[in-house]
Amino acid sequence: MNALVESKKIRDEQQAFWELFEDTWGPIEYTEDEQKCLQDEVDNFIIDKIAAALKECNNNRTHTADKLGIKRETLLAKMRKYCL
Question: Is pLDDT at 69 greater than 70 in this prediction?
Answer: yes
pLDDT recorded at residue 41: 86
pLDDT recorded at residue 54: 94
Residues in the chain: 84
Question: Is pLDDT at 61 greater than 90 in this prediction?
Answer: yes
Instruction: Give the span between the Cα atoms of 61 and 73, in whole angstroms.
Output: 10
Instruction: Give the span between the Cα atoms of 72 and 75, in whole angstroms.
Output: 5
Q: Could you tell me the pTM of the whole model?
A: 0.58
Q: Tell me, which fold does domain 2-27+35-81 have in CATH?
A: Arc Repressor Mutant, subunit A (1.10.10)
Q: What is the pLDDT of residues 11-60, one digit of tens each?
A: 888 888 888 888 887 776 766 666 667 788 889 999 999 999 999 999 99
Cα dihedral 40→44→50→51 (10° resolution): 140
